[in-house]
Structure 1
Amino acid sequence: MLYPLKFHPILKKKIWGGERLSYKSEQHEESIGESWEISAVEDNISVVSNGILADNDLQELIEVYMGDLVGDRVYEKFGVEFPLLIKYIDANDDLSIQVHPDDETAKERHNAYGKTEMWYIADAEKDASLIMGFNKETDKAEYLQALHSNRLMDILNTEKVKKGDSFFIPAGLVHAIGKGCYIAEIQQTSDITYRIYDYNRKDAEGHTRELHTDLATDVIDYHYHPKHKVDYTPHDNKSVQLVKCPYFTTNLLVFDRDIEKEYVHLDSFVIYMCIQGKFTISTGECEPVMVNKGETVLVPACFKNVTLYPDEVSRVLEIYVEE
């Protein structure tokens, strides 16, 4: 029998990682840069941590439960490959500047999906920032000239961020996470990244990191986009849409009372990322599941009515796939 599923986090140690994710490690390791909460990336398949299905991986469950787990339409399109990768990212240093290909290019080059994503700033240090696109209209020639003359930063757009900000990053948008950002990331199932600049940093052996200049140049969106931050107004005890795109819809839900959610017209799983507080989720058909701050839970598509019971004020990202 299906029920709301939690998974063991897949922790990624990074040279730029911080301490915010150390609590997810049994050894309380530091320098954990990413926690992959739900993943179907090859060699990184999430494994269930709760209930009678514990120790089964996500792909095995989709093979057995198919549309009951992910939604009939989602299963028809993606088969046993779960379509989203859900992460937390803790940046204790500036990450490299990068870009991702779209579906068409990724299919042609890598036989994989492209990578469109979004970020929700779960926390941020004072003066933390992101790089998002260009600060003016540019083109390939100007970009390459700036890159090769070490002036790339002169034409990139920097955005100061604070807790609660949200950003949409379509494939082709040059971007980077800055030091001091703690981010919830929702993206297509893809691990394809083209690194275009890494501040000329060197490792302990004196080597610079590999760049993917040739691959990146043809997928970059060189247009100037004046706005990247998502406009939204929080509304207590009601889901507020942050991003809706062909790959995912993400809402913010801040609640301090019981919330009944109805998904009768939604042919999709629902994911809750608990950014703040804690709550219990009940389907009325199985044992309630407690979701603590920093945890992520997947509600199978077969459950069309769920109730969320907060223990305190809770801030949750609600994620699903629409037509």
Structure 2
Amino acid sequence: MSLYPLKFDPILKERLWGGTKLKQVLGKEITSDITGESWELSGVAGDVSIVANGKLKGCSLQELITKYPEEVLGKSVLERFGSEFPVLIKFIDAKQDLSIQLHPNDKLAKKRHNSFGKTEMWYVMDADKDAELIVGFNKTVTKDEYAKSIEENSLLALLNYEKVQEGDTFFINTGKIHAIGSGVLLAEIQQTSDVTYRVFDFNRKDKDGNYRELHTELALDAIDYEKKDDFKVSYNQNKDEVNSMVACPYFTTNYLDLTQPMELNVADRNSFTIYICVAGNASIANDFGQIDLQKGQTILIPAVSKTIHINTTKAKLLEVTI
């Protein structure tokens, strides 16, 4: 099979805190005023991405992996993660603050949920004036201090707030308490996992008048209570180069700010490659075909590819591999 660059139908999710920026800024075909997420590339059961272009249109990502496992994923990825697609790519629009939450590590997630943990990173694509993220604590706390703050409804006083603008990037390792603040639109790259421990939701009620479930007890043994300044990603933004952003066991992400065509030899990469367009547009080709990519779109280059050609005069891309 000639595995050309693959684009997938977005999986749109209404959320209590969602808005309309996915349509206004990224051109998604949303139909509500509370669309919070666009799942761009997903192997999560029940939400598996469907190919939107070419001869494979209508095939699911999982069907492709089942038929062409090594060609799609790459041998080393297949050996490490099996036939489950190991990352989940999303765009998130927070019109309101998201709940304060954290994610368990692999060991705890496997024990409790038979799932991977959830390490993730955020790239801010758009932010209202004074928009913020919550990332970690503003001081090291004990488990008892944290538990008391939950009981007394005073958790917010313990949290670290970060004002953000376009281009800011954050790495959220497991155990780190966090929340996306109102007015932020971002791209999220994460392990394939939907395990989230929600610990505070601003006492909001859903559309049916109910409080959303909190995971107070589950979170106690999953939280990293130490104050750490390890979350803000400093990265070069050199034009027409591959700039390293994040390298962790679960994904590697690079930043490309291109003003001219680029050719990449990926014969030895032994992994699929994902491109997320965060500004501008480009035409991207592998050995078997090409596709146009514009801001707010994501494509998958199968691992069987030997070369990648990016034709553009102005594009900013996030490149994700394993």
Report sequence identity in percent.
49
**SS class of match (1:313):** strand
Task: Show the counterpart of 1:301.
Answer: 303
Does the CA contact (< 8 Å) of 2:236 and 2:244 recur in 1?
Answer: no
Equivalent of 1:129, from 118, 132, 136?
A: 132
Equivalent of 2:292, from 277, 282, 290?
A: 290
Does the CA contact (< 8 Å) of 2:5 and 2:289 recur in 1?
Answer: no
Return the offset for 1:307: 0.9
User: How is 1:1-323 mapped onto 2 (pairs within 5 angstroms)?
Assistant: 1-22=2-23, 23-25=27-29, 28-283=31-286, 285-310=287-312, 312-321=313-322
Return the offset for 1:255: 0.2
Q: For the residues of structure 2 that align with 1:66 and 1:167, how far apart are their CA atoms? A: 31
Counterpart of 1:135, as a letter, is N
Q: For the residues of structure 1 that align with 2:69 and 2:229, how far apart are their CA atoms? A: 42
Does the CA contact (< 8 Å) of 2:281 and 2:294 recur in 1?
Answer: yes
Q: For the residues of structure 1 that align with 2:96 and 2:206, how far apart are their CA atoms? A: 14
Return the offset for 1:272: 0.0
Counterpart of 1:304, as a letter, is K
**SS class of match (1:273):** strand
Across the aligned residues of Structure 1 and Structure 2, the Cα RMSD in angstroms comes to: 1.2
Counterpart of 2:106, as a letter, is D
Q: For the residues of structure 2 that align with 1:289 and 1:120, how far apart are their CA atoms? A: 23
Counterpart of 1:153, as a letter, is L
Q: For the residues of structure 1 that align with 2:271 and 2:152, how far apart are their CA atoms? A: 48
Counterpart of 1:2, as a letter, is L
Q: For the residues of structure 2 that align with 1:305 and 1:97, how far apart are their CA atoms? A: 42
Q: For the residues of structure 2 that align with 1:140 and 1:163, how far apart are their CA atoms? A: 34
Return the offset for 1:59: 0.6
**SS class of match (1:288):** strand
Q: For the residues of structure 1 that align with 2:268 and 2:8, how far apart are their CA atoms? A: 26
Counterpart of 1:258, as a letter, is P
CA-to-aligned-CA distance 1:90-119 (integer Å, 9 cap, x gap): 000000000100110010001111100000
Q: For the residues of structure 2 that align with 1:149 and 1:270, how far apart are their CA atoms? A: 47
CA-to-aligned-CA distance 1:149-205 (integer Å, 9 cap, x gap): 111011110111110000000110000000000010000000000000011122355
**SS class of match (1:319):** strand
Q: For the residues of structure 1 that align with 2:278 and 2:113, how far apart are their CA atoms? A: 34
**SS class of match (1:309):** strand
Counterpart of 2:18, as a letter, is G
Return the offset for 1:264: 2.6
TM-score scaled to structure 2, two decimals?
0.96
Return the offset for 1:227: 4.2
Q: For the residues of structure 2 that align with 1:252 and 1:36, how far apart are their CA atoms? A: 20
Counterpart of 1:19, as a letter, is T
Q: For the residues of structure 1 that align with 2:54 and 2:220, how far apart are their CA atoms? A: 47
CA change 1:136–1:240 in 2 (3 A) is same
Q: For the residues of structure 2 that align with 1:107 and 1:227, how far apart are their CA atoms? A: 25
Q: For the residues of structure 2 that align with 1:59 and 1:75, how far apart are their CA atoms? A: 13
Does the CA contact (< 8 Å) of 2:17 and 2:97 recur in 1?
Answer: yes
TM-score scaled to structure 1, two decimals?
0.96
CA-to-aligned-CA distance 1:103-157 (integer Å, 9 cap, x gap): 1001000111110000000111110100000000111000011111111011110
Return the offset for 1:306: 1.0
Counterpart of 2:129, as a letter, is K
Structure 2 runs not aligned, ≥5 long: none
Q: For the residues of structure 1 that align with 2:212 and 2:16, how far apart are their CA atoms? A: 12
Q: For the residues of structure 2 that align with 1:199 and 1:31, how far apart are their CA atoms? A: 18
